[in-house]
Structure 1
């Protein structure tokens, strides 16, 4: 299938809001998070399900990747902003609280969600909980006023997930995403997931 295209509905604040549950705190990523993010992206089992496939080799490389989370296309008031969040477990020591990240990687041509956790944090329900928190924030953001001709579609969020990544597919499905097709990117066979705005 072709990748989705969708009008940009959301107005992205800068800085973005934060949100908490009893266990997790999601807050915008800051430069000081680079070493913790490097610890995640340096792991081969994380890299194999992401792009690029090569584990990161340095904090500087991690910072370069962090910069790609800033939106470079879409309406003028979106460019230069991001919706990129650290996932913090409030129950563990502050220096080790960052267990993963979750973001809207782009808004144009469609809002695409990405996430990853440190392998030590897999299987604990963090990703599902963080996804629900992030979606609550995303759907709660102010929307732009559009002509009816621009917004005849149902607003959705999307995610691309490697077909071999059963854990991430389960997370998306638990959060209400539906598998709407398949897409091949650089030899990776991906599922395309979509979720309608409630």
Structure 2
């Protein structure tokens, strides 16, 4: 699936290198309860659990810049990107998708740090929601969780139609954060019903 700037491709074992480049970055993975992957084997194990062959209810995608972007637009995106950024090589800049369907599917996403603040997460999530509703007719609800201090993620969810349904205090622990006991906001989006 494509958006104006991005291509979302079903996550596969062939994406391991890009997946590891993102998940091994402590800053990119700091909001995840699993934390960064220390080795490529850690990343392989984590990614394997997300693949559709191992999690049939999953809807997970690798996210790339479109290879057919106009040169001027690509140059603008790449201008201030670090030399090792996947933005420079049109490599994998993030992953997004759903897993766990008990009681409702849960959304998760992560982006390479150099891709932050460019609207990519909002663009990808808008496209993902269309595909999710089309591919998962058995579900009318999708939920997501965010630490209230993760304002970037909160903004993305709200822009894409998620609404806050609950705040949980001290619900989980991230030993590398201060304070380690963290609050969570539970967000929900529901399938738009066709007009009668």
TM-score of the two chains, using structure 2 as the length reference: 0.76
Match of residue 157 from structure 2: 172
**Does residue 10 of structure 2 align to residue 25 of structure 1?**
no
- Flag structure 1 segments of 5+ consecutive residues without an equivalent: 1-18, 73-77, 145-153
Q: Give, in whole Å, the separation in 2 of the partners of 1:80 and 1:112.
A: 14
Q: Give, in whole Å, the separation in 2 of the partners of 1:68 and 1:142.
A: 19
Q: Give, in whole Å, the separation in 2 of the partners of 1:43 and 1:105.
A: 22
Render the CA deviation track for 1:111-167: whole Å, top value 9, x for unaligned. 1000010000000100000000000001112525xxxxxxxxx92111011111000
3-state SS of the aligned residue for 2:102?
Answer: coil
Q: Which of these residues, 175, 190, 195, is aligned with residue 196 of structure 1?
A: 190
3-state SS of the aligned residue for 1:163?
Answer: coil
Structure 1 residue 177: deviation in Å? Answer: 0.5
What does residue range 122-161 of structure 1 map to in structure 2 within 5 Å? 122-141=116-135, 143-144=137-138, 155-161=140-146
Change over 3 Å in CA distance of 1:20–1:71 after alignment to 2: closer
3-state SS of the aligned residue for 2:50?
Answer: coil
**Which stretches of structure 1, 4 residues or longer, exceed 6 Å deviation after superposition?**
none
Q: How many residues align?
A: 165
Cα RMSD (Å) of the superposition? 2.3
Match of residue 97 from structure 1: 91
Q: Which has the higher contact order (CA 8 A, sep 6+)?
A: 1
Change over 3 Å in CA distance of 1:188–1:71 after alignment to 2: farther
Render the CA deviation track for 1:14-42: whole Å, top value 9, x for unaligned. xxxxx111211111011121111111111
3-state SS of the aligned residue for 1:99?
Answer: strand
**Does residue 37 of structure 2 align to residue 37 of structure 1?**
no
Match of residue 52 from structure 1: 34
**Does residue 167 of structure 2 align to residue 185 of structure 1?**
no
Q: Given that residues 70 and 81 in structure 1 are in contact (C-alpha distance below 8 angstroms), is that contact kept between their aligned partners in structure 2? A: no
- Flag structure 2 segments of 5+ consecutive residues without an equivalent: 75-86, 174-180
3-state SS of the aligned residue for 1:62?
Answer: helix
**Does residue 50 of structure 2 align to residue 69 of structure 1?**
yes
Q: Given that residues 11 and 61 in structure 2 are in contact (C-alpha distance below 8 angstroms), is that contact kept between their aligned partners in structure 1? A: yes
